[in-house]
Amino acid sequence: MADVDQLLGLQVASMLEELGIETPVIKKNLSEKTETKTHMIKDNMHDLLDVLGMDVEDDSIKDTPKRLAKMYVGELFWGLDYQYFPKCTVVDNKMQAKEMVVRQNVPVKSMCEHHFMPIAGNATVAYLPDKKLIGLSKMDRIVDFFSRRPQVQERLTEQIAAALKFILGTEDVAVVIKAQHFCVSHRGVGSPDSTTVTSRLHGKFFTVSELRAEFLNLSK
């Protein structure tokens, strides 16, 4: 786990709640210890497999409930816990940078909150420097943090953009996400080649047509 900043995370969480774009959660359940969550999920997964008719005593399956529990708590959904919010180093813009800073092809690895199936794709994230500059890897870590929870892509896009605005102290932020949803490709309509594109453009990225066009071209 990279360096974290729980205080910043709690400030971001409060801001998202005020904006109405925080992930729906039950806070008292979030505060449960990791071991308790893992144990409870393991028991429930054992029951699920049993109901499906799987032989949970088979040597290939008997540890599956534990594997799933550890994966959900420690790998896929750790972004629900703001104690793991990434430390976001910012520095004064002493070089007076003015042109947009863009991160392309940032991995998005999330899970659909409707069917608990993967969302896989990439994000393009940009900002116009004002008084602060942020470490490039921190932009990726913000994307990863909000991806590591049950999500809908529209909210994920909003959360990333809002967090960057808050941390950088600027309105001039833009986010585009292009992703495949396995709940669409592997079930339901069964559309394996379709992708979903969402965007959130703030400040000059929204109001200045030339800048908007340049960013959207870079995000293709």
Residue 202 falls inside a structural domain: yes
Do residues 116 and 122 make contact, with C-beta atoms less than 8 angstroms apart? no
Q: How far is CA 211 from CA 4, 70, 103, 140, 174, in A?
A: 33, 44, 16, 22, 10
Residue 49 falls inside a structural domain: no
Catalytic residue list contains 181: yes
| Exposure of 39 in the CB half-sphere (CA atoms within 13 A) | 5
Do residues 83 and 32 make contact, with C-beta atoms less than 8 angstroms apart? no
Domain span holding position 156: 88-218
* pLDDT at site 192: 86
Do residues 87 and 4 make contact, with C-beta atoms less than 8 angstroms apart? yes
Residue 80 falls inside a structural domain: no
Instruction: Choose among 89, 159, 90, 171: nearest CA to 128.
Output: 171
Residue 120 falls inside a structural domain: yes
Residue 74 falls inside a structural domain: no
| Candidates 153, 158, 159, 180; catalytic one | 153
| Candidates 115, 154, 186, 214; catalytic one | 115
Residue 48 falls inside a structural domain: no
Residue 190 pLDDT exceeds 80: yes
| Candidates 113, 154, 171, 214; catalytic one | 113
Residue 102 falls inside a structural domain: yes
* Proportion of the chain in helix, strand, coil states, percent, rounded to 5: 45, 20, 30
Catalytic residue list contains 88: no
The SS3 of residue 63 is coil
| CATH number, domain containing residue 114 | 3.30.1130.10
Residue 1 pLDDT exceeds 80: no
Per the prediction, the chain carries an average pLDDT of 96
Per-residue pLDDT band for 123 (boundaries 50, 70, 90) equals very high
Catalytic residue list contains 115: yes
**What is the domain count for the chain?**
1
Catalytic residue list contains 114: yes
| Candidates 158, 159, 181, 202; catalytic one | 181
